[in-house]
Amino acid sequence: MSTPLPDPVFQRICKQVDASGGDILGFLSRLVSFPTPTQNPEDKNYPDAIRACHAFLSEALKGMGFTLDTWMARPMSFPEHPVLVGTLKGSGGGHSMALNGHVDVVPAGDEGAWKHSPWGGEVTDGRLWGRGACDMKGGVAAMIQAVKAIRDCGLRLRGDVYVHVVSDEEVVGFGSRECAERAPRPDFVLVTEPTRLNVLPVEGGLEHVRIEIEGREEHAGRRYSSIYPREADRGHGVNAVEKGVQIVRALQDLERSWALSKSHPLLPAGFNTLLPGIFMSGPGGGSGGQLNMITNPGTTPNYCCIEYNIWYYPQETLDEIKRDVEGYVNAISRYDPYLKAHPPKFTWGLRNISFPPANTDPDHEVVNSLLSSLQRLGCPSQITGFNAASDLAWYAARGIPGAIFGPGDLACAHSPDEFVPVSDTLNVTKAIALALLSWCGYETYPPSPLPKGKGEQTCLTGR
């Protein structure tokens, strides 16, 4: 368990954030004003917008004493997906923490459906409105402003703080993966996705897989020969659709078995699912999930592909999931003479969707610090799991503990009139600042009572 911060330090941070509330919201409003959707490669506004956003954040971090490292992540929807890593060195002797967030957003869609401009960053009714306000520029603003609040209070962290800002999360890019690989290794990472002020130290693994089945073409007029084969009809078609349906039914049985035999205390019962999301089949052949042609159902289809979304629990590994799924499909194929001779083909990690799980100890000091601070602030909060995927996965893959914690509710992300509550933004700023002080340790140098000309100061330390 973490040791609660002394009340004077707690109060000092809270008062500083409250006094700076207008500046914090102004910072977030400016972030929202940059139109940075990444999912449409034809968007001509993105390149200039992301450069301007990157420059804005760089100047803010430099003004706080951070040293910067920047590079372009592997191209995805655009050639330019800048990565920004800021380092604020501590005085020594404390733990380090990385703060991660993304500034790319999904498109605004029909702007006529919005009551508030998606790029306006307007503050009304206790909410800040705009695309990305919730997902997740609100979290980026809170984590940066948390460090500023500490410095504005005259406190210096002992451990190093790293700020990782990427611009390709919405297209499942490589920015955070590269941060985890090449930036200095932190002792803990906080990903500031919206969590409704809950603290989420675990998330499941996510994998996309394609299963391809080959059949044998035949004129539809000979369909009877495959249903009622006769001695004279030695050859007949093999319907790839029907073979695919067999596999879907089999994996439904496996899914039910998983639900009954596996669980995790911080995730919903039955979270581990096998969702057949794409089913494509037809005559004329195909490969890589694509049909060679679209014709008509007058020929027995000889190609079928099924693409699955698979969630698995934090305590499991991808190798175990692969063995389960492929083993189950291959086992039922052994009872089908055709599938036994023509086994289905598996392709894992489709389109970069291969997120390892995160499984930080719920009793970790930072998790407890966040929860304790929220309780002192009077904010309802609980420790739970994330039933989606986040960039925490890439740090977890390298053995770095972490949690997801940020302002807003994921339910309003990606929708018209997206918003983040003002109170969430300020409370998250306070909680992150307090967690940094608790985890990294701190020092403060108050004005010396010694006569003028004496250089000695009394150093009060935390942790």
Residue 397: pLDDT band with limits 50, 70, 90: very high
Distance, CA of 214 to CA of 407 (rounded, Å): 48
Residue 458: pLDDT band with limits 50, 70, 90: very low
Domain boundary among 329, 354, 379: 354
Identify whether 458 is part of a domain.
Answer: no
Identify whether 452 is part of a domain.
Answer: no
* Same-domain status, 227 and 184: no
* Same-domain status, 230 and 91: no
**The residue to which tokens 């059949």 are assigned:** 215
Identify whether 454 is part of a domain.
Answer: no
User: Model pTM?
Assistant: 0.91
Distance, CA of 248 to CA of 239 (rounded, Å): 15
* Same-domain status, 163 and 41: yes
* Same-domain status, 310 and 224: yes
Distance, CA of 21 to CA of 421 (rounded, Å): 13
Is the pLDDT at 454 greater than 80? The verdict is: no
* Same-domain status, 227 and 270: yes
* DSSP 3-state of 88: strand
Q: Give the pair of three-digit tokens for residue 203.
A: 């998330």
* DSSP 3-state of 275: strand
Beta strands in 320-441 (DSSP E): 345-348, 354-355, 358-359, 383-386, 402-404, 419-421
Cβ atoms within 10 Å, residue 298? 9
Q: What is the mean pLDDT of residues 139-158?
A: 97
What domain range includes position 154? 7-203+357-444
* Same-domain status, 118 and 79: yes
Instruction: Report the number of distinct structural domains present in the chain.
Output: 2
* Same-domain status, 199 and 209: no
Identify whether 331 is part of a domain.
Answer: yes
Domain boundary among 354, 372, 394: 354
Identify whether 286 is part of a domain.
Answer: yes
* DSSP 3-state of 409: coil
pLDDT at residue number 445 = 55
Q: What is the CATH number of the domain that holds 271?
A: 3.30.70.360
Residue-wise pLDDT for 102-122, tens only, equals 999 999 999 999 999 999 999
pLDDT at residue number 346 = 98
Is the pLDDT at 437 greater than 80? The verdict is: yes
Is the pLDDT at 90 greater than 90? The verdict is: yes
CA angle 109, 114, 119 (to 5 degrees): 75
* Same-domain status, 427 and 392: yes
Is the pLDDT at 451 greater than 50? The verdict is: no
User: In the beta sheet, which residues pair with residue 287?
Assistant: 290
Q: What is the mean pLDDT of residues 85-95?
A: 96
* Same-domain status, 174 and 98: yes
CA angle 34, 35, 40 (to 5 degrees): 150
Computed over every residue of the chain, the mean pLDDT equals 93
Is the pLDDT at 396 greater than 90? The verdict is: yes
Please give the span between the terminal C-alpha atoms of the chain, in angstroms, as a whole number: 13
User: In the beta sheet, which residues pair with residue 99?
Assistant: 163, 190
Q: Identity (one letter) of the amino acid at 458?
A: T
Residue-wise pLDDT for 157-212, tens only, equals 999 999 999 999 999 999 999 999 999 999 999 999 999 999 999 999 999 999 99
Residue 448: pLDDT band with limits 50, 70, 90: very low
Identify whether 449 is part of a domain.
Answer: no
Among candidates 370, 357, 361, which has minimal Cα distance to 433?
Answer: 370
Identify whether 457 is part of a domain.
Answer: no
Distance, CA of 148 to CA of 150 (rounded, Å): 5
pLDDT at residue number 227 = 78
> 4 versus 242: which is more confidently predicted?
242
* Same-domain status, 41 and 137: yes
Identify whether 459 is part of a domain.
Answer: no
* Same-domain status, 34 and 180: yes
Count of alpha carbons within 13 angstroms of residue 433, beta-carbon side: 32
Active-site residue list: 104, 169
Q: What is the CATH number of the domain that holds 418?
A: 3.40.630.10
Q: What is the mean pLDDT of residues 52-81?
A: 97
Residue-wise pLDDT for 333-384, tens only, equals 999 999 999 999 999 999 999 999 999 999 999 999 999 999 999 999 999 9
CA distances from 461 to 8, 88, 186, 261, 455 (A): 13, 18, 22, 50, 19
Domain boundary among 354, 387, 414: 354
User: In the beta sheet, which residues pair with residue 71?
Assistant: 83
Residue 238 DSSP one-character state:
B
* Same-domain status, 349 and 381: no
- Rounded to a whole number of angstroms, the CA Rg of the chain reads 27
